[in-house]
Amino acid sequence: MQISRRRGRLALAVPAVVAIAALTACSSGTGGSGAAGGSTAKSGSTTAPQKLGTAPETSSLSMPATAVSAADGPLEFTVDNGYFTKKGLGVSVPLSAEAQVKDAVATGSAPLDDLAGSDVLDLYAKGYGVETIGCTAASNGFYVYAKKGVTTSSLAGTSVGVPSLDGAPQFAMDYFSSQQGTDPSKLTFTPLGSIPNVLAALESGRIDVALLSTPFNLKAAAAGFQDLGYAVGPPTPYVVNTSWAQKNGATITNWIEAFVQGTWAYLTDKQAAEAELAKFLKLNPANAADAKTLAASWSNYLPPVTEPLGECTAASFEPYVKYFPASEQAQLKNLNGLVDNQYIQQLWNSGFYASMQSKYGAVPGLTLRQVALDQPTIVDVNGRPAAAS
């Protein structure tokens, strides 16, 4: 038998322009391969989570990041406040190009890292040995800014700046333009290497539309560019190389436990989180403009949080499969093998989530009262209630 649980769904603290259909899929309690779907692990998993407290097999991890963004605040906070160190792990976050990070995950030179959801789907479709072990948020989004005269109804024929082709911003814009009634094939995507470069191209007139993250969206707004809305893309999951994972179950277990604790502290302590962001983004809280940016940098990356914190579901990725080439779509019909929630499930079963809520309080935008109070429900393999054995 398997163990699932009853729980309310999360309250989504996202901008009003977020596409409802995508978020409905993200917050569905069915179809995923994690605790919400009543499954303790992905089908065919070859890695068993280790007993909590077991020393990690690997003591040092390099997790290259693709940009200095407030989206990485939880990870930076977890590193700087010693949560990984307490679990026997040394974690560094050097900057690297998006394509290089993707290759590093695929080859195993960066065996555990966060990666754009679209890149993860692409690697999975091409047969690379990767699997997701967690998602802090159910989706990842970008702010859409444009030069004067461009509106949501006049997107056809525009040039859109993105860090790289077929990355998360492009897939988010595909979804966004479809929701606005424009065929994504009518857009011209221009790869510019990074989000700061995208903003610079918008300012210079090289592109018509820019996909931006915080704090760069705030700079675009201050410069008078048109705010067209919020483009939702797939989550940015934490991914492992499966060959490495087979030998590093305890490393993964320790990493997730530390990261969930650090993220929980970050999301529930705005003052401490903003202090981290000030250092990370090189902002001065004494400056009024920087203080405004700091507040937005924290609040803009609160949710949609996953429930429980860290869990991924296949449903979060499914709305974006149709934007892949037909040859890859065939390989993406069943995403259950991509999502491995056994480590999250182990933490749930151990009472870890209840202890986190007791220590830090509830995460904003998440119905964490259920985490502490809901009782497990025994279900059979078809998800129907069954008598406990």
Tokens representing 268 are: 């529930």
Closest alpha carbon to 339 in 324, 356, 353, 318: 318
The position carrying tokens 């675009």 is 220
Domain coverage including residue 276: 2-139+235-379
117 with 155, same domain?
no
Clarify whether residues 309 and 176 are in a common domain. Answer: no
Q: Specify if 388 maps to a domain.
A: no
- Can you give the pLDDT at residue 70? 82
Is residue 122 located within the same domain as residue 248? yes
pLDDT tens for the 389 residues of the chain, in order: 222 222 222 222 223 222 222 222 232 232 333 333 333 344 445 567 777 889 999 999 999 987 778 888 899 999 999 999 999 999 999 988 777 888 999 999 999 999 888 899 999 999 999 999 998 777 788 999 999 999 999 999 999 999 888 888 898 999 999 999 999 999 999 999 888 999 999 999 999 999 998 889 989 999 999 999 999 888 889 999 999 999 999 999 999 999 999 999 999 999 999 999 999 889 999 999 888 888 888 887 765 667 788 888 899 899 889 888 888 999 999 998 999 999 999 998 899 988 998 999 888 765 443 333 333 333 333 333 333 33
Q: Identify whether 387 is part of a domain.
A: no
Residue 9: DSSP 8-state: P
Question: 389 in a domain, yes or no?
Answer: no
My answer on whether 273 and 366 are in the same domain is yes
Non-local (6+) Cβ contacts of 325 within 8 A are none
DSSP code for 144: E
What residues contact residue 1 under an 8 Å CB cut-off, 6+ apart? 378, 379, 380, 381, 386, 388, 389
Verify that 196 and 229 share a domain, yes or no. Answer: yes
Q: What is residue 160's predicted lDDT score, i.e. its pLDDT?
A: 98
218 lies in the same domain as 259: no
- pTM, to two decimals: 0.75
Kindly report the backbone phi and psi dihedral angles of residue 102, in degrees, each rounded to the nearest multiple of 5, phi listed first.
Answer: -60, -45
Amino acid at 239: V
- Provide the terminal-to-terminal Cα distance of the chain, rounded to the nearest Å: 8
What pLDDT shows up at residue 11? 26
Q: Tokens 């860090």 appear where? A: 163
Do 234 and 317 contact (CB within 8 A), yes or no?
Answer: yes
Q: Distance (Å, rounded) from C-alpha 240 to C-alpha 249?
A: 11
* Domain termination residue (choose one: 233, 255, 277): 233
pLDDT at 367: 47
Is residue 238 within 8 A of residue 135, CB to CB? The reply is: yes
Domain boundary among 210, 233, 256: 233
Instruction: State residue 203's pLDDT score.
Output: 98
Q: Yes or no: say if 145 and 98 are a contact pair by the CB < 8 Å rule.
A: no
Is 114 part of a structural domain of the chain? yes
**The pLDDT of residue 154:** 96
Asked whether residue 21 falls in the same domain as residue 107, the answer is yes
Give the torsion through C-alpha atoms of 176, 118, 281, 241, to 10 deg: 160
Instruction: Identify whether residues 353 and 307 lie together within a single domain.
Output: yes
Give residues with Cβ within 8 angstroms of 371, minimum separation 6: 7, 307, 308, 353, 354, 357
Domains in the chain: how many in total? 2
Any domain includes 296: yes
Residues 132 and 262 in one domain: yes
Task: Write down which residue in 191, 217, 233 finishes a domain.
Answer: 233
Domain with 338 in it: what CATH number? 3.40.190.10
Has residue 257 been placed in a domain?
yes
Which residues have CB under 8 Å from 143's CB, separation 6+?
Answer: 211, 212, 213, 214, 217, 220, 227, 229, 230, 231
My answer on whether 354 and 366 are in the same domain is yes
Nearest to 34 by CA among 82, 26, 125: 26
* Same structural domain, 152 and 111: no
pLDDT at residue 213, rounded to an integer: 87
- Is 293 inside a domain boundary? yes
Same domain assignment for residues 321 and 373:
yes
Q: What is the pLDDT of residue 110?
A: 93
> Which bin fits 158, alpha (ψ -120 to 50), beta or left (φ > 0)?
beta
pLDDT at 158 (0 to 100): 98
